[in-house]
Amino acid sequence: MHAQVPPGPREWPFVGSLLAFNRDPLQFVDRLYRAYGEVATITMMGLRFFFFAHPRAVKYILVDNARNFTNREAYPELRMLIGDGLLTIDGAEHRQQRRIVQPAFHRTRIERYAGTMLEYTRRMLESWEPGAEVDVADAMSRLTMAIAGATLFGVDLVEETAAIGRAFLQAAEYTDLPVIALGHLPINLPFTPYGKFVRAKQQLDEVVTRIITGRRHGNQEGDDVLSMLLAARDENGVPLTDRQVRDHVLTFLAAGHATTANALTWTFYLLAQHPRVMTKLTDELTTVLGRRDPSVEDLPRLPYLEAVVKESMRLYPPAWAQARRAVADFDLEGYHFPAGSYVIVSQWVTHRRRDLWQNPEQFLPERFEPAAESEIPPLAYFPFGAGPRTCIGMPFAMMESRLVLAMILQRFRPMLVPGFRVVPRALIILQPANGLRVKLEQAERPVQVTSGSSLG
């Protein structure tokens, strides 16, 4: 093992690579990989980070030795917003809390959410007209938040989705690592970054408190995530505290809508630029569905639909990087790393490596068609993470993405507004910096929007 630390870029005193990272995180990690290969060292505000790019490092950190790498210390900025939910707790507590809510994400239960997903999508489509311009990023955020509220917590958030979405974005902007590191002082005034964060967090807390209080006082039984959290007991029969329930609900509300919303947004962006893929996908939808809406039973017969969603998440993974902090010393890539080391693996970089993917910059869903997908190297693709902390909502998100995408494309072809510039913005989630403005072109044989069954 090498005695010295891995190489890294020349850095400014004290701030290290912070300014370069803050300027463009995606470009920064790209340059880091191109210059230093499998492992590199950077510092930011006195903290040292080790950046790994190869799937074998992803496997070592996220899968094989997952218990040696914790989330809690790696995401102090995220804990400011969501507290101690599944994303930010570790060890035995994480395993216990995950077991509590895991039944809500079993396949048979998730499939019962499909009707709600379809109905909320119909409601949105009723307000869309051919030729209209829509910010599809905002529309997908509102839609997925409404779906998350209805399916996971049994509440209708339709009237509040815009306000909640703004609050999440404002809070995420403050909790972005470079902002924290640059030292925005915690001065609580309406115009300061910290003051805006406090008010956004208060708004989100009020929403979550209302959801929990309404369920406690409503005597409503259910088998959703909220019901399981309220009914959970530890080995001594002690229920979760109000704070624990709050943190979990806020975590699921944030993660349950933001990742899927951005996955769908980037998919529309890519489809608008690749007419061949759009045609192949819509032909599959027409062949399998005809002029009816999709159902869960149809999804196995729509392999190209799934391939499109997966390829979109390869190029624009909603979670573009993952950080951990080592509990004990470890050896990796020919170097020895001490306990307390911060490590980073990046979906953005690994998903675009030329030695792992042919023509990695191209949008080619055929990579994920059944015959080709088995050739993808293990952990060259990990949009939902990997190992024991793989996103618990992955089946939910994949089903929702395919159903929503199919329903919209049966009626409209969202095309980019001419001259609209799309710039990725890497906060906690990878999203378009200024939304995604599209013009709604009518599908050749659009399926009529019809009222569905009552929500359940």
pTM above 0.95, yes or no: no
Domain 84-319+351-442: give its CATH code. Answer: 1.10.630.10
Q: How many CA atoms lie within 13 A of 22 on its CB side?
A: 17
Task: Choose among 10, 43, 23, 13: nearest CA to 176.
Answer: 23
pLDDT score of 222 more than 70: no
Q: How confident is the model at residue 96 (pLDDT cuts 50, 70, 90)?
A: confident
Q: What is the pLDDT of residue 454?
A: 37
Give me the percent of the chain exceeding a pLDDT of 90: 59
Q: How confident is the model at residue 229 (pLDDT cuts 50, 70, 90)?
A: confident
What's the sign of the alpha-carbon dihedral 60, 42, 384, 355?
Answer: negative
Q: What is the pLDDT of residue 155?
A: 86
Q: What is the pLDDT of residue 6?
A: 96
Q: Which residues pair with 43 in a beta bridge?
A: 48
Q: What is the pLDDT of residue 242?
A: 85
Convert the pLDDT of each residue in 159-182 to its tens digit: 888 888 888 877 777 665 444 444
Q: At what angle do helices 161-175 and 242-273 cross, to 10 degrees?
A: 90
Q: How confident is the model at residue 43 (pLDDT cuts 50, 70, 90)?
A: very high
Convert the pLDDT of each residue in 344-376 to its tens digit: 999 999 999 999 999 999 999 999 998 899 999
Phi-psi region of 385 (alpha: psi -120 to 50; beta: other; left: phi over 0): left
pLDDT score of 451 more than 80: no
Q: What is the pLDDT of residue 384?
A: 96
Question: How does DSSP assign 379-423, residue by residue?
Answer: TS--TT--GGGS-TTHHHHHHHHHHHHHHHHTTEEEEEPTTPPP-
In the block, residue with structure tokens 């307390």: 340
